Chains A and B, each alone.
Chain A
Amino acid sequence: MQITSPNFKENAREALSDAALQKALGNVRTGFIDKRRKAIDALPEFDDLRDSARDIKNHTLAHLDLYLEAYEKKVLEAGGHVHWAETAADARAIILDICRQYGARTVTKGKSMITEEIDLNECLEEAGIKPVETDLGEYIIQLRGEHPSHIIAPAVHLNKEQVEADFRRVHTHLPVNRDLSEPSALLGEARRVLRAAYFDADVGITGANFLVAETGTSVIVTNEGNGDLTQILPKVHIVVASIEKITPTLEDVSQILRVLARSATGQDMSVYTTFSTGPRRAEDPDGPEAYHVVLLDNGRSSMLGTEFQDMLRCIRCGACMNHCPVYHAVGGHAYGWVYPGPMGAVLTPALIGVDKAGHLPNASTFCGRCESVCPMRIPLPKMMRHWREREFQRGLNPATTRYGLRMWALLAKRPRLYRMAAASGAAVLSMLGGRKRRLSSVPLAGGWTRWRDLPAPQGRTFMQQWADRGRNKAAHR
């Protein structure tokens, strides 16, 4: 997908003036937050579970090679295949190869952000293979030729009227006068249309929420059951997952599952939690004939051992963006690539380069709400700051910012000079504040005064007045 992260500011401006988007974002600002709060209030040990989840992942990342190899061994034992993909291009080639091997013409897909990351749909279409997204939200945005704006609610930027219009545009074989005013009617229609696709599909592709080293199992959580139909009905099941999805044991997965859905949607558990191990065995009633796992690195191993390693704990619950005031303001597409919100602000620069994604870690107020809700206790603001440090070191900030910062630091490191500068600044701004005691425009501070007034200083600085107080006291002694 085309990267527009360098145009974050323009993207944001467009998003802010998009009335439909702003209406849709209203649901994010309240719905997710209230539901999560209720779920967590009902589980007093939630914070202890977060500690435990964090520790499990830290341990795993410290021994990632060991667990990945153990996982591979188990998948092979179960009759599956494992493919290692260093880059997105490698992963695409591997998947295309498998599809061709089985003569695939239609591919069903469970929701997978990884396949967004590797541009899989475009690749399949170019090869004459039809990808069908089966998650309702993904299905909707596929009809619209869009990309997800949220990692667990891909169509959260849309209102139901927009979805109705799309269904009427695309499902032309259905009666024109059908009633689609209720969300349940939209769901029912998508369900009926997709049902046929499941039976047509030659290959089913899913992501994975977890890969279990102990058993060679891939785990997905869904609420619609589409994942199960995607991976059970076709002849071939391909799991595409990034390497940090590995988790040592089933016990560990069970532990982390307890924080995942609560953080994401406020559910105790998702409606479906599906475990797949290898292809169909002789005694199984159903399942795919072939089971392939594509393990993708795509830059993640370069985060190991750096200040960004903690990001690899992320379990993609979306709580950080659900609680982010910047995400609430501009939505997910403004971030310009696959991963939006605070987790995207840390992950995207690692995967596509901070030179392209530099805006993302800067577009944060550091309010810390993301970190406070992260079930894996990822210090997101701290890592965004580390990206700012990398940018500063490489001289990627605008020249005016660097110059301003240098002038300011020069003063801040010289208290005497600083006091003099503050005193004259206060005097000038105070005078300009007039009787209203505020300024509606200030040269070089247009960013502030475009939208709000600048309160005028009271007059003389605290330091000046404090010095007077000292002199007066001395005089009265």
Chain B
Amino acid sequence: MTSNDTGQPRVGLFVTCLADLFRPSVGFAAVKLLERAGCIVEVPRAQTCCGQPAYNSGDRNDARDIARQTIQAFDGFDYIVAPSGSCAGMLKKHYPGLFAGNALWESRAKEFAGRVHELVSFLTDVMGVIAVDAGLEATATYHDSCSGLRELGIRDQPRALLSTVEGLVLKEMKDPDVCCGFGGTFCVKYPDISNEIVSQKTANIEASGADLLLAGDLGCLMNMAGKLKREGSKVKVRHVAEVLAGMTDEPAIAEGSD
């Protein structure tokens, strides 16, 4: 896999279905961060969703079809980057297993998986970014989303980059590495249990004293933001990429403009 003439890596952005539908600004923040890091960014149009709703519901056939479509859509890119640990984890850790027993596709999926990265860890670990050009007067607390943390080992990278945002103070909440109760379809299949888990989380967020909650996954963010707002909390909620890219003009998640 070669880069283009300028030596800049060609990155295919996997937007993720939630960013596409609910919060395009996360996608544009990702583009900005990647371009600033020296990447050429393209967005293949044949992408939809990573396939987790099917995969985690036991529907392997549809998950496999979607995986095949995604792998083909990102043929030829040096890297595939997603602003989500959950979706990147699916592409990187679960696609190859979907093709077990199919030598051709299994090797394609493995080769593809080798090029997949989550956005923030890609910036630090692959592109060597150590600081960002952004500022925000806020006290933030960072939630470690489960897939990013446990499948991809993302914990220090976002905190390292956030510590270079001018004016931003990081305050750890209790149990930042405990699930927020989203769990994809879990939160609608078992809403009462999900609610209990997210209530523990929002209590920890409030107790941290932060006025801004950050995380790297929109699913978790929408769950926590939805609960915080239902509880009447003043805590603002944003995707970490928005802050790192200095794109905080858009209202925060579930916040009106007034």
Residues of A near any B CB (own CB < 8 A): 9, 12-13, 16, 29, 325-326, 328-330, 362-369, 371-372, 385, 387-393, 397, 401, 405, 408-409, 411-413, 415, 418-419, 422, 425-426, 435-438, 440, 445-448, 450-463, 465-466
Q: B181 contacts which chain A residues (CB < 8 A)? A: 325, 365
B209 at the interface (CB under 8 A from A): no
| Given known A325-B178, A367-B150, A409-B62, contact A437–B183 (CB-CB < 8 A) | no
Q: Tell whether B11 is near chain A: CB-to-CB under 8 Å.
A: no
Shortest CB distance A452–B (Å): 3
Residues of B within 8 A of A461 (CB): 20-21, 24
Q: Is the CB of B48 within 8 A of A452?
A: no
Residue of A13, A364, A368, A465 near B151 (CB, 8 A) is A368
Q: Which residues of the partner chain A approach B20 to less than 8 Å between Cβ atoms?
A: 422, 461-463
A-B contact pairs, 7 of them (CB 8 A): A9-B192, A367-B178, A385-B58, A408-B54, A461-B20, A462-B15, A463-B20
Q: Please, how many angstroms separate the alpha-carbon atoms of A364 and B230 in the complex?
A: 24
Identify the stretch in B1-9, B74-82, B105-113, B218-226 within 8 Å (CB) of chain A at 4 or more residues: B218-226
Whether B133 sits at the interface, judged by CB under 8 Å, is no
* B250 within 8 Å of A (CB atoms): yes
Which A residues touch B46, using CB under 8 A?
415
Q: Given A366-B146, A455-B222, A461-B24 in contact, is the A401-B193 Cβ separation under 8 Å?
A: no
- For B19, list chain A residues within 8 Å (CB): 462
Chain A residues with Cβ below 8 Å from B253 are 455
Bound-complex Cα distance A371 to B149 (A):
13
B residues in contact with A330, CB < 8 Å: 193, 196
B150 contact from A372, A392, A409, Cβ within 8 A: A372
Report A439 CB to chain B, min CB distance, Å.
9
> Is B254 a contact partner of A418 (Cβ separation < 8 A)?
no
Closest residue of B by beta carbon distance from A414: B48
CB-based nearest B residue for A359: B190
Say yes or no: B178 contacts A369, CB within 8 Å. yes
| Cross-chain contact B179 with A367 (CB below 8 angstroms) | yes
* Contact in complex: B190, A363 (CB < 8 Å): yes
Contact (Cβ within 8 A) B58 A390: yes
Does B192 lie within 8 Å of A401, measured CB to CB?
no
Docked CA distance A455–B182 (Å): 14
Is A448 a contact partner of B226 (Cβ separation < 8 A)? yes
Shortest distance between the CB of A449 and any CB in chain B (Å): 8
* B27 contacts partner chain A, Cβ-Cβ < 8 Å: yes
Task: Judge whether B179 and A365 touch: CB under 8 Å.
Answer: yes
A388 to B190 CA separation, bound complex (whole angstroms): 15
Determine whether the beta carbon of B49 is less than 8 Å from that of A412: yes
B101 contacts the other chain (Cβ, under 8 Å)? no
Chain A residues near B195: list those with CB within 8 A: 450-452
Contacts of B73 in A (CB 8 A): 415
Q: Contacts A369-B150, A388-B57, A422-B17: A16 and B254 contacting too (C-beta < 8 A)? A: no
User: Known interface pairs A16-B196, A368-B151, A437-B256. Does A405 touch B57 (Cβ–Cβ under 8 Å)?
Assistant: yes
What is the total number of residues of chain B having a CB less than 8 Å from a CB of chain A?
A: 71
Name the B residues within 8 Å of A454 (CB-CB).
222, 226
Decide if A409 touches B59 in the complex (CB within 8 Å). Answer: yes
- B130 within 8 A of partner (CB): no
Give Cα A367–Cα B184 distance, bound, in whole angstroms.
10
Q: Measured between C-beta atoms, what is the minimum distance from B56 to chain A in Å?
A: 6
B139 within 8 A of A: no
- Given the interface pairs A397-B57, A461-B24, the reply to whether A365 lies near B182 with Cβ below 8 Å is yes
Residues of B within 8 A of A419 (CB): 45
Contact A426 B147 (CB under 8 A): no
Nearest residue (CB) in A for B179 is A367
Is A437 a contact partner of B254 (Cβ separation < 8 A)?
yes
When the two chains form their complex, are residues A453 and B229 in contact, meaning their CB atoms are under 8 A apart?
yes
CB distance from B222 to the nearest CB of A (A): 5
Query: Is B172 interfacial (CB 8 A cutoff)?
Result: no
B137 within 8 A of A: no
B84 at the interface (CB under 8 A from A): no
Which residues in A have their C-beta under 8 angstroms from that of B187?
A: 447-448
Please tell me which one of the listed residues A369, A413, A415, A460 contacts residue B146 in the complex, with CB atoms under 8 A apart: A369
CB distance from B244 to the nearest CB of A (A): 18
Contact mask B37-75 → A, CB, 8 Å, 1/0?
000000101111101011111111010011001000100
Question: Are A365's CB and B43's CB within 8 A?
Answer: no
Q: Are B62 and A458 in contact (CB under 8 A)?
A: no
- Evaluate contact between B49 and A391: CB separation under 8 angstroms: no
- Nearest Cβ distance between residue A203 and chain B, in whole angstroms? 42
Contact A13 B21, beta carbon cutoff 8 Å = no
Given B24, B48, B193, B223, which contacts A326 in the complex, CB threshold below 8 Å?
B193
Docked complex Cα distance between A59 and B70 (Å): 38
Q: Nearest-CB distance from A157 to chain B (Å)?
A: 15
Given the interface contacts A413-B69, A457-B22, does A452 sit within 8 Å of B223 by beta carbon? Answer: yes
In the bound complex, do residue A412 and residue B48 qualify as a contact, i.e. CB atoms below 8 Å apart? yes
Measured CA separation A459–B43 after assembly (Å):
19
CB within 8 A of A409: which of B54, B182, B184, B191?
B54
User: Do B21 and A422 touch (CB < 8 A)?
Assistant: yes
Task: Give the docked Cα–Cα distance between A477 and B11 (Å).
Answer: 22
How distant is the Cα of A132 from the Cα of B138 in the complex, in angstroms? 61
The one of A426, A435, A458 in contact with B258, judged by C-beta atoms closer than 8 angstroms, is: A435
- Check A455/B66 contact, CB under 8 A, given A364-B186, A447-B187: no
Tell me if B58 and A392 are in contact (CB < 8 A): yes
Let me know if A453 and B230 touch, CB within 8 A.
Answer: yes
The CA-CA distance from A452 to B237 in the complex, in Å, is 14
Contact at B146–A453, with CB atoms within 8 Å?
no
Q: Which chain A residue shows the least CB distance to B53?
A: A408
Sorted nearest first, the 10 A-B pairs with minimum C-beta distance are A365-B183, A392-B58, A388-B58, A447-B188, A452-B226, A367-B179, A462-B24, A455-B254, A451-B195, A367-B146
How many Å from the CB of B181 to the closest CB on chain A?
6
- Distance (whole angstroms) from the CB of B184 to the closest CB of chain A: 7
Distance A12 CA – B258 CA, assembled complex (angstroms): 40
* Contact between chains at A393 and B186 (CB < 8 Å): no
B23 and A457 form a contact (CB under 8 A): yes
The minimal Cβ–Cβ distance linking A61 to chain B, given in whole angstroms, is 20
Tell me which of A29, A325, A392, A415 contacts B179 (CB under 8 A).
A325
Within 8 A of A (CB), among B163-208: 177-179, 181-184, 186-198, 200
The yes or no answer to B155 lying at the interface (CB within 8 A) is no
